[in-house]
Amino acid sequence: MSELPGIVITGASGRMGQMLIRTVSDSPRARLIGAVERPGHGWIGQDVGAAMGGAELGVTVSDDPLELVAGAHAVIDFTAPDATVEMATLTAQARVVHVIGTTGFDDSHLKKLEAAARHAVIVRAGNMSLGVNLLTQLTKKVAQALDEDFDIEIVEAHHNQKVDAPSGTALMLGEAAADGRGVLLDHVTDRARDGITGKRERGHIGFSAIRGGDIVGEHDVIFAAAGERIVLRHIATDRAVFARGALKAALWGQGRKPGQYDMIDVLGLNDN
């Protein structure tokens, strides 16, 4: 048992944190050895299983990740950009695999993650599910096959507590579409249309975001031309798909060379 990879979960009280804790605890391939929350959180000092309203798991929630990371094989992190970058400093020092499902990074965050990846394995993806990563590959291939007579629109829907838009998955799909077209997404992106916007720019990639209720995650990639549309769709109904993917990434990263990877690498779908 002790030979199984030890996993630390950050943001333990969050929706994904709790799902990750359940997934790792139930896995025959890994051990839950740590749960981290921000200083002052009500769960600090409690057994994480009891704090979640279930049986004790023998893991106490901590606000000091340093010792936990030093004894871990991997950290799984679905928190916030600043917290993730701070954690990346620790995982880089400890040479621990850092699986990142956090979204909403800016360029300064990404530069710091790039620096951390020179010392440790980072697996970062806007979405950890197998289905979404297959959708990403399909989006790239369809964009390669169709010219700019087909407008590309990406529509995503999430629960009403999500704080960033477009979602990390939507941006991942946009990057795939832009890559298929041989352009940079930043040069062709259209977001937050409102008022008199003028006609749609040929070749641009549009984004729309819906927020409501408890929607786990829905993404449509629409290729629309005169007289026809192609719609690629993924619907997630259970956060467990993301947690299982994140655990797969944490196990896959063991023994890899330092660097930045994504779920396309983990799932062996990279056609480069």
The catalytic residue among 112, 140, 158, 248 is: 158
Q: What is the pLDDT of residue 3?
A: 85
Beta bridge partners of 230: 223
Q: What is the pLDDT of residue 58?
A: 97
d(CA 61, CA 51): 9
Helix (H) or strand (E) run with residue 28 in it: none
The residue length of the chain stands at 272
Spell out, as residue ranges, where the chain has pLDDT lower than 50: 1
Q: What is the pLDDT of residue 272?
A: 55
Residue 268 half-sphere exposure toward CB, CA atoms < 13 A: 2
The 228-236 sheet, strands edge to edge: 189-190, 205-211, 151-158, 217-225, 228-236
Question: Amino acid identity of 95?
Answer: R
d(CA 90, CA 120): 10
The catalytic residue among 41, 119, 162, 204 is: 162
**73 has catalytic annotation:** no
Q: What is the pLDDT of residue 267?
A: 87
Q: Which of 191, 264, 245 is nearest to 78 (CA)?
A: 245
Query: Token pair of 46, please?
Result: 């409690």
**219 has catalytic annotation:** no
Q: What is the pLDDT of residue 271?
A: 61
Question: Amino acid identity of 230?
Answer: I
Quick check: 148 and 203 in contact, CB under 8 A?
Answer: yes
